[in-house]
Amino acid sequence: MALIVQKYGGTSIGTVERIQNVAHKIKKWREQGNELVIVVSAMSGETNRLIGLAQQITNHPNPRELDMILTTGEQVTIGLLAIALESIGVPAISFTGQQVGILTDQSFNKARIQSIDNKKIRAELDAGKVVVIAGFQGVDEQGNLTTLGRGGSDTTGVALAAALKADECQIYTDVDGVYTTDPRVVPKARRLDRISFDEMLEMASLGSKVLQIRSVEFASKYKVRLRVLSTFEENPQGTLICSEEELMENPVISGIAFSRDEAKLTVLGVPDRPGIAYAILKPISDANIEVDMIIQNQSVAGTTDFTFTVSRNDCDKALAILKTHATEMGAKEVLSDKGIVKVSLVGIGMRSHAGVAARMFEVLFNEGVNIEMISTTEIKISVVIREGELERAVQSLHAAFDLE
């Protein structure tokens, strides 16, 4: 007998009919002798609708009150799913996050789970029930309801799997797994059977939107076997996200991620002296703008250029900040550029293979794609290129690294 946590996303339970369909799937799993804990999202579109209601009153609703509203979305689907299960003879009981002791910190709208009390869930499982739990929500020490950030039901699922020491956490969604790259850009992109936590973290942080990134961090930390699979297929295999020991083989490259949400800022002709990087980036970080890649040129005649990337919607704000500080930094000019994208190769096999970067640059050179910035980690190489060259770059890299 296995204990399985299954999480169903908004599309999977977007109508009453789909909820009934999910109930039948759960029934099958149970008949195979598994214990089941089910986590659900709100029906698709519901969380946005609720935010919209609050925003009809003000653009900046009180975060505590917003969470009060948002937690209702999942409260509807747990009740409906429990009713659907009972109606086909499956004993079930639903709980809100608060009722099963999902304790979070106090950061409304983006709370972090601190602990989960698994006793109540365990008792209901022992009584033979399927336990249905509201995703995306918890309660703080003062008893305020909190939510975990958009897409947070994934994290609820993984956290419950960790707390219950489940055999697997299955994330049911509208895609059938994690792909080598976005199939809209490369039609020959392939579903991966397995991928390591570290690779998935890179893919998720680089824009592959299959899972909330925090859920992957959680899974990696607590070694929760995590599977992404389609609700709409009969016997889906999906993609297993697991520790490296469980991988059968280590291809050099597992996937190609890319992000269009990039912009670059350049500060020209600043004096090359201690404190200059700090002077440039401190006001940026004070404004809560996240900086990604950073490059400082070799200095010429005592001055240097400093370039960094931010997400595109932070670009204007960052430019304005740099301009107000330009004189005190001694900069000649400040430039911004929203026409860039980032393309990254990800693979743990890179650790043991030399020459991946050179091969990547060769492929881009053959395509006539100019590289503007480069950054690397142990398992990732990222380049910044012009936006118009994204498709060509990703397609040629996908072919060159045998991902089809």
Angle at 65 (CA atoms; ends 62, 68), nearest 5 degrees? 155
Minimum distance between the CB of residue 151 and Mg ion, rounded to whole angstroms? 4
Q: Which does 135 bind (CB under 5 to 8 A by kind): ligand ASP, Mg ion, none?
A: ligand ASP
Question: Dihedrals φ, ψ of 318, to 5°?
Answer: -65, -40
Task: Tell me if 179 sits within 8 A of 255, measured CB to CB.
Answer: yes
The single residue among 9, 97, 135, 157 that binds Mg ion, judged by CB under 5 A, is 9
- Contact footprint for ligand ASP (CB under 6 A): 9-10, 41-42, 47, 73, 135-136, 150-154
Vertex 384: Cα angle to 383 and 387 (nearest 5): 130
Beta strands in 13-119 (DSSP E): 35-40, 92-95, 102-104, 113-116
Between 9 and 138, CB nearer to ligand ASP: 9
Number of other CB atoms surrounding residue 348 within 10 Å: 22
Q: Which is nearer to ligand ASP, 139 or 385 (CB)?
A: 139
Please, what is the minimum distance in Å from the beta carbon of residue 44 to Mg ion? 9
Question: Of 212 and 254, which has the nearer Cβ to ligand ASP?
Answer: 212
Shortest Å, Cβ 137 to ligand ASP: 9
What is the longest distance spanned by two Cα atoms in the chain?
80
- Find the shortest distance in angstroms from Cβ 7 to Mg ion: 9
Q: How far apart are CA 234 and CA 40, in angstroms?
A: 20
Residue 225 site contact among Mg ion, ligand ASP, none (CB < 5 to 8 Å, cut-off depends on kind): none
Q: Which is nearer to Mg ion, 204 or 397 (CB)?
A: 204
Contact mark string toward Mg ion, 136..175, x via CB under 5 A: ---------------x------------------------
- Of 264, 263, 257, 293, the residue nearest 380 (C-alpha): 257
150 binding partner (options ligand ASP, Mg ion, none; Cβ < 5 to 8 Å by kind): ligand ASP
| Cα gap 34→74, rounded to integer Å | 24
Which residues here bind Mg ion, judged by CB under 5 A? Answer: 9, 151
